[in-house]
Structure 1
């Protein structure tokens, strides 16, 4: 896949984000993902109410919020080779990250992001899809079985 084609079909600049989804997740998946991210990447875990920031995802806090035991809502920003991958911990059964396409501007940046998607897919043994913002059914690319697939993007 060449960069010019990817720039036009995956990382086009229309002002919207791209979503990264893993569907049908559970707390075990979330805990594995958080452990991977905390150990492999630079993380900013920021609490909304206090502006307190930590350098690792506090997955116990996420679970407490989901269980209604805490109101310490937070978001995570993960630095994946200069591209910031954001996670807002909306729901338990869907791991949802987003990226700004303008942060991917070379084939090397694309390859670094694909490495992240493949790591997550391999760890969770589930497909990881990249879609246009708020359009989970429109798969631009997918990490599955150790490969990146481009179902709707042909050169």
Structure 2
């Protein structure tokens, strides 16, 4: 069944993923549509919130710091706390300070066994990435859905799970979304 990748995790071929729900080679996701969403194709899946500002970014990161099972922040700014910097300070130094521009910081949050990570590039679009190979079963799917809801709730905007791209394109299919206004989560 598959091979081991550089991260030491098992990789499944397309045939392994779509071998059927009763095959011993089948990926153990509870619903057939999940195999399409989390198909192992070598690319990440992105969780996005569009048309945001620094205020939404900070609200999302602060909520995730509380709601996640574990978080990590890495940054190159010696004037800030190395382990637990204030997000307002991170954004101020990154976006407003001429010495901070050109560098960024990273944020990771773990829900269950699934890690989500962000490298903020701009304030206008929140983007987190997740490896589909980390979403192996119902618990992994639950972690993704929980993360999506937390991001949407904190930003008070619709959160989208999409394929990996540099910038969002409205023509791109949304795989899963959560609307905090209606409280509805939908999938392809």
Residue 142 of structure 1: which of 173, 177, 180 is its match?
A: 177
- Would the alpha carbon gap of residues 67 and 99 (structure 1) be closer, same or farther in structure 2, given more than 3 Å must change? same
Residue 75 of structure 2: which of 27, 33, 47 is its match?
A: 47
Q: Deviations over 1:76-110 (max 9, x none)?
A: 11112111100001100100000000001111211
Matches within 5 A, 1:1-150: 3-41=30-68, 42-47=70-75, 54-55=83-84, 58-71=87-100, 73-134=104-165, 136=168, 137-144=172-179, 145-150=182-187
Q: Tell me the distance in 1 between the aligned counterparts of 2:128 and 2:75.
A: 17
Indicate the larger mover: 113-122 or 91-100: 113-122
Structure 1, unmatched stretches of 5+, are: none
Q: After the TM superposition, which parts of structure 1 deviate over 3 Å for at least 4 consecutive aligned residues?
A: 55-59
Q: Tell me the distance in 1 between the aligned counterparts of 2:139 and 2:67.
A: 18
Indicate the larger mover: 92-101 or 110-119: 110-119
Is contact 1:78-1:84 (8 Å) kept?
yes
Q: Tell me the distance in 2 between the aligned counterparts of 1:24 and 1:83.
A: 26
Is contact 1:43-1:57 (8 Å) kept?
no
Q: Tell me the distance in 2 between the aligned counterparts of 1:57 and 1:13.
A: 36
Indicate the larger mover: 60-69 or 100-109: 60-69
- Taking structure 2 as the reference length, what is the TM-score of the superposition? 0.70
- After superposition, the CA RMSD in angstroms is 2.3
SS of 1:54's partner is coil
User: Which has a greater percent of strand?
Assistant: 1
Is the radius of gyration larger for structure 1 or structure 2? 2
